[in-house]
Amino acid sequence: MRRLFAAAFAALAILFSGAAGAQTPPGVLLVGQIAEPKSLDPQAVTASNDFRIVVNLYDGLVRFKKGTLEVEPALATDWTISEDGTLYTFNLRDDVTFQDGTPFNADAVVFTFERMLKEDHPYHDTGPFPLAFFFSQVDTVTAKDEHTVEFKLKEPFAPFLSNLAYPTGLIVSPEAVKEYGQDFGRHPVGTGAFEFEEWEANQRVVVTRNDDFWEGAPPLEAIVFRPVTDANTRVAEMLSGGLDVMVEVPPDSLQTFRDDPSFKVYEEAGPHLWFLILNTKNGPFADKRVRQAVNYAIDKKALTENVLQGTADIAAGPIPPAFAWANDGSVEPYPYDPDKARELIKEAGAEGADLTFYVTEGGSGMLDPVAMATAIQADLAKVGLNAKIETYEWNTFLSNVNPGLEGKADMAEMAWMTNDPDTLPFLALRSDAMPSEGGFNSGYYSNPEVDKLLDEARRTTDQAERGRLYNEVQKIVHDDAPWAFVANWKQNAVARAEVQNFSLEPSFLLILKDVSKG
């Protein structure tokens, strides 16, 4: 792998030593992330925090067109779809190599997907692969020749192309996986604009320019992704010159950056939901009335306007309004009605119930999680529910929540950024998506009608019909209230004025191949 110029590393050493007035080195972009990544294996991660790095190391067969959620060619030049919607044939670029010098070809595509989907694959143990659900309808992946690959689906699957554009569909180097095995996530190799250089735990991930990138070498020499978990610390480092870009700017600080010509604030709407997972299996939230009461008890207007200072809108259900074709707006948010909440709690005999509330210090799309939790705790106290907050670092938080809340907690914060209206409900609300089955239904919600609607919506390729089905899901889930629906965020970032060609994407991915520093 190529190494940064010695002068650039020297500048980084000065910067990380905390020298007063240190500035980021030319040609190197320092990005303030919200947490330490869990892995750099694109099939092994679920958080946007990790996705922001991996999309710069790897490519997929397709990608989202800039500024949209529309799919366009990437490693595939084009594709055809059979009339019955079950056979996708991709023609691949013939001028691409992985960053380790091995060829990108149809066999590499087959390896990537079979490693994830086939339990008897010799490298399936390099997982786990928590978002393999994205490709659950894939029956076979076949290399027809060196530059043609065919996906045979079990049945029509409307989100297939969109899921291929998501990080779970990025193509990995088979030889690197074979070499590093379960450590591949620490030694990532793809075909992307940047290649992996180093990962110093809790300090930085460094990626350097891939001079052989198939679209042409990017302008930047390197990118340094720094985990700065405390939002106020990220702000301070940004203001002092220690960062070029920071993501997820605290609402309190946005105006400071807007008023300073040294910076530019970026905002972009996208499909996001911030919610509370409620344990529907045992405890007070096994009763729908108590779940509904929580939705009535939370003053979401105060949260979005005061805590989040207008950077989010009030949420109504599991389908974000960014998917306008799948959310017609007929389902309105639960109004703030503490009297109704108290009435429902009394009916359910849950007055004075004690609740364990899992909260994260920060994480992908989590907005201002501690302040949000404190406000929610106060709202619940007003209606007679006693929520005890337990706070965890992001990756520890996920390791507690994702396996399910049974026997541990009654409620937990969560946020998802998605690429299709199918993603969040399919992975986190289906009866077959329980944690024991590898899904993210950590609150154990089950409704056969929702399961049926989600399956039908996946199979139909008619968008109008899909939209109708998702609107039905929205109505049922809103009433069942397995979650407390709180906010839909408008993502943001801030960059120094000399950073050029930076943008945010509705996919919430951070694409940096065209960025430069003036």
pLDDT at residue 506 tops 50 = yes
Least confident of 20-24, 126-130, 314-318: 20-24
The answer to whether position 218 is within a domain reads yes
Give the pair of three-digit tokens for residue 347. 């009916």
pLDDT-derived band of residue 364, with 50, 70 and 90 as boundaries?
confident
DSSP-H helix ranges across 384-422: 394-401
Are 312 and 350 part of one and the same domain? yes
Q: State yes or no: pLDDT of 4 exceeds 80.
A: no
Do 258 and 332 belong to one domain?
no
What would you measure as the largest C-alpha separation in the chain, in angstroms?
70
- Residue length of the chain: 518
Task: Please identify, among 113, 145, 174, the residue that sits at the C-terminal boundary of a domain.
Answer: 174
Is the confidence at residue 383, as pLDDT, over 50?
Answer: yes
Residue 297 makes CB contacts below 8 A (sequence gap 6+) with 338, 341, 379, 380, 382, 383, 385
User: Is the CB of residue 376 less than 8 Å from the CB of residue 407?
Assistant: no
Task: Tell me how far apart the alpha carbons of residues 186 and 190 are, in angstroms, rounded to a whole number.
Answer: 13
The rounded distance, in Å, linking the Cα atoms of 83 and 259 is: 55
Q: Is 16 part of any domain? A: no
Q: What is the pLDDT of residue 22?
A: 54
Same domain, yes or no: 498 and 445? no
CA–CA dist 245, 24 (Å, integer) = 11
DSSP H or E segment with residue 117: helix 106-117
The answer to whether residue 9 is domain-embedded is no
Same domain, 389 and 289: yes
Residue at 72 is within a domain: yes
Q: How far apart are the first and last CA of the chain?
A: 26
Q: How far apart are CA 53 and CA 31, in angstroms?
A: 10
Given a cut of 80, whether residue 281 has pLDDT beyond it is yes
With a CB cutoff of 8 Å and minimum separation 6, the contacts of 26 are 8, 517
CATH number, domain containing residue 147: 3.90.76.10
| Whether the Cβ atoms of residue 74 and residue 62 lie closer than 8 Å to each other | yes
The predicted pLDDT at position 12 comes to: 55
Residue 1's pLDDT band (cuts 50, 70, 90)? very low
User: What pLDDT does 3 receive?
Assistant: 47
| 13: in domain | no
* DSSP structure string for 3-30: ---HHHHHHHHHHHTT-TT--PPTTEEE
| Rounded average pLDDT over 133-148 | 96
Same domain, 279 and 410: yes
**Are 42 and 70 in the same domain?**
no
Poorest-pLDDT segment among 128-132, 168-172, 374-378:
128-132
Q: Is 21 exposed, middle or buried (0-12, 13-18, 19+ CB in 10 A)?
A: exposed
Q: Looking at residue 281, which CATH number applies to its domain?
A: 3.10.105.10
Query: Looking at the 3D structure of the chain, how many domains does it have?
Result: 3
Q: Which residues pair with 355 in a beta bridge?
A: 387
Distance CA(367)–CA(480), nearest Å, equals: 25
Residues 381 and 337 in one domain: yes
Element (H, E) at 199: strand 194-200
pLDDT in tens, 427-481: 999 999 999 988 899 999 999 999 999 999 999 989 999 999 999 999 999 999 9
pLDDT reading at 20 higher than 50: no
Residue 111: domain span: 60-174
Return d(Cα 237, Cα 18) in angstroms, integer: 10
Q: Do the domain assignments include residue 181?
A: no
pLDDT tens column, 37-83 = 999 999 999 989 999 999 999 999 999 999 999 999 999 999 999 99
Q: Which helix (H) or strand (E) holds 245?
A: strand 245-247
- The CB density around residue 511, as the number of other CB atoms within 10 Å, is 19
3-state class (DSSP) for residue 399: helix
Query: Is 6 part of a structural domain of the chain?
Result: no
Say if residue 370 is in the same domain as residue 469: yes
Tokens describing residue 16: 């990380």
Residue with tokens 């366009």: 72
Quote the CA–CA distance of 40 and 27 in Å, as a whole number.
23
Beta-carbon contacts of residue 432 (< 8 Å; ≥ 6 apart): 439, 451
In a domain, 7, yes or no: no
Could you write out the three-class secondary structure of 331-348? CCCCCCCHHHHHHHHHHH
Banded model confidence at residue 2, pLDDT cuts 50, 70, 90: very low
Q: What is the CATH number of the domain that holds 250?
A: 3.40.190.10
- Percentage above 90 pLDDT, the chain: 86
Strand ranges in 35-86 using DSSP code E only, listed in sequence order: 62-64, 71-73, 76-81
Confidence (pTM):
0.83
Alpha carbon distance 512, 194 (integer Å):
9
Kindly state the tokens that stand for 268. 């972009």
**Looking at 124, 145, 174, which one is the last position of a domain?**
174
Same domain for 475 and 499, yes or no, is no
Q: What is the average pLDDT across 280-306?
A: 97
* Mean pLDDT across 482-502: 96
Q: What is the pLDDT of residues 168-227, one digit of tens each?
A: 999 999 999 999 999 999 999 999 999 999 999 999 999 999 999 999 999 999 999 999
Q: Are residues 95 and 114 in the same domain?
A: yes
Average pLDDT, the chain: 94
For position 9, what pLDDT does the model report? 52
Mean pLDDT of 382-404: 96
DSSP state of 302: H
> What is the pLDDT confidence band of residue 269, given thresholds at 50, 70 and 90?
confident
Q: Among residues 110, 142, 174, which one ends one of the domains?
A: 174
For the beta carbon of residue 120, count every other beta carbon within 10 angstroms: 6
Determine the pLDDT at residue 41: 98
3-state secondary structure of 220: coil
What pLDDT was estimated at residue 185? Answer: 98
